[in-house]
Structure 1
Amino acid sequence: MKFVAVGEVVWDIFPARQVLGGAPINVAYHLAALGLPVGVITRVGNDELGRAALDRLAELGLPLAGVQRDPALPTGQVRVEFGADGEPVYDIVAPAAWDNIDPEQALAAAEEGDGKDGEDGFSLIFGTLAQRDPRSRQAIRRLAVAARYRYYDVNLRPPFTTRELVVESLEQADLVKVNGDELTQLGLWLGLSPMGKIEAGEGGLPPSAPREQLAAAIIARYRLQALVVTEGAAGAWVRTAEQTWAAAGEPVQVADTVGSGDAFFAALIAACRQKLPWPEILALANRRGAYVAGQPGATPEMPSL
């Protein structure tokens, strides 16, 4: 089964360089590096950055069949700066070509290579940001209905990622990934954390009882198969309908954290496909996420880890 990543393609403009990025691109790259069949659905402008994006996607070994061209809107850009804590701060330029993904073209690209009756199918990987415009939102909704399985990375980017978009996405998802702050925000939005911010357990892992209960409540409300929570250097944990598992983080000298969560997500998806036990899935995902955090850029050459 093919894994289709849909959403934004952007040039991340750093103080000293520019790098092609966007969570869907990063996840697709890391899935391909793990040997899985991938498709990318996005849209670039008819401009110099758009042509450079197509060249870079080809260099990364990603298929171009699902990359649409927009005659009017520009290729996406994100200006990236880093705070005192080393975490990236994003200024996402709007509007952009990826706001205008065409639903019919998207479905055709996602289903390319299926059998006559679509028996092969595809798994969809999507986030919240690319749904900020109703045009791309419609395309993603159509893909979610057609997909056999749906992986959703909440990946909040205010002010574009609203409560409405997140709730609608949770209703479409099978497996959801959030970070610790996003879990707290979900609780507030959904009325599941009336006491406000929910603190992590000692060292971040294992989760405290309130955090675990919050995750369980979200799973029950949206009938998710799993909710995966990343806690930075502390590691990650997952809640299913039945149980919670946790795995400590990997030590790393951080170069920059851009793309590390996407590498984590790709490794998680690949390990889930192999039906590995959850502790092993989390350990593998932590390892690849930490490796990328130790490298400059979101799509470094990936060794076998």
Structure 2
Amino acid sequence: MSKIICFGEVLWDVFSTHKKIGGAPLNVAIRLKSLNNEVNIISKIGNDSKGENLVAFIDKKGVGTKGIQVDKHYKTGKVKVMLNDKGSASYDIKFPRAWDHIELTEAAIDMVKSSNAFVYGSLVARNDDSRETLIELLKLASYKIFDVNLRPPYYTVELLIELMNKADFIKFNDDELFEIS
């Protein structure tokens, strides 16, 4: 069993008919946990009921929540998801949100130092606070997995190159490969 840390956004995806818990790092964490890994997530929620519900859901899935911080100023993440006639999604990612301000804490440092793998994406780096925390934690990680998640306008080529250069392994889909090549 591996000890894996996932870093990034936890949020609510809001569709026209329903809402569900999401965020690429959280989805990865839940999948890795289902494969019998020890998984923790580092993120930030607002001091609100949406954040409390997120943590309860994550706990229920067996993913560790000791790396989830609570922000007194910013709300829990929210993304408005719109589907076109063909079922393709477009996103209105609310900004700023609590996960834009993940802090470098002793708990986060200890978790990353004791892990076998550190999974991160590109969306969490849209704001300086979380990006700076990510860069510091990458210095401590033994094995770094970059799960590219391109959401315009929240990335630059320079940022992607920086994050790719820090990775031991990079995961992307066909659309992302086309976009970054």
Category of TM-score, reference length = shorter chain: over 0.9
> Is 1:184 the counterpart of 2:155 in the alignment?
no
Structure 1 distance, partners of 2:40, 2:59, is 12
Moved over 2 A (4+): 108-111
The answer for the alignment partner of 1:109 in structure 2 is: 111
Please state how far the C-alpha of 1:181 moved relative to its aligned partner.
2.1
* Structure 2 match to 1:93: 94
The Cα shift of 1:53 comes to 1.2
SS, match of residue 131 in structure 1 = helix
Q: Which amino acid aligns with 2:45?
A: V
Deviation at 1:176, TM superposition (A): 0.8
Matched, 1:46 2:76: no
Which runs of 5 or more structure 2 residues have no equivalent in the other structure? none
Does the 8 Å contact 2:81/2:92 carry over to 1?
yes
What displacement does 1:156 show?
Answer: 0.3
Question: How high is the sequence identity, in percent, across the aligned residues?
Answer: 37
Contact 1:65/1:109 (8 A) holds in 2: no
Match of 2:31 in 1: 30
Alignment pair present for 1:144 and 2:138? yes
Name 2:124's counterpart in structure 1: 130
Is the Cα–Cα contact under 8 Å of residues 44 and 102 in structure 2 kept in the other structure? Answer: yes
Residue in structure 2 matched with residue 71 of structure 1 by the alignment: 72
Report how far residue 148 of structure 1 moved: 0.9
- Indicate which of 150, 153, 158 corresponds to 2:152: 158
After TM superposition, the structure 1 = structure 2 runs for residues 55-70 of structure 1, keeping only pairs within 5 Å, are: 55-70=56-71
- Structure whose alpha-carbon radius of gyration is higher: 1
The 8 Å contact of residues 30 and 63 in structure 2, kept in 1 or not, is answered as yes
- State whether residues 12 and 78 of structure 1, in contact with CA within 8 Å, keep that contact through their aligned partners in structure 2: yes
What are the superposed Cα offsets for residues 112-148 of structure 1, whole Å, 9 maximum, x if unpaired?
xx4xxxxxx4311011000011110111111111111
Partner of 2:17: 16
Q: Number of aligned pairs?
A: 179
Question: Offset of 1:83 from its aligned partner?
Answer: 1.9
Question: How do residues 275-286 of structure 1 correspond to structure 2 at under 5 angstroms?
Answer: none
C-alpha contact (below 8 Å) 2:112/2:140 kept by paired residues: no
Distance in 1 separating the partners of 2:171 and 2:84:
24
State the AA in 2 paired with 1:62.
Answer: V
**Structure with more of its chain in strand, by fraction:** 2
Three-state SS of the structure 2 residue aligned to 1:72 is: coil
Name which of structure 1's ranges 97-106 and 129-138 shifts more when overlaid on structure 2.
Answer: 97-106
Flag the structure with more relative contact order, 1 or 2, with Cα contacts below 8 A and sequence separation at least 6. Answer: 2
Unaligned runs of 5+ in 1: 115-120, 188-305
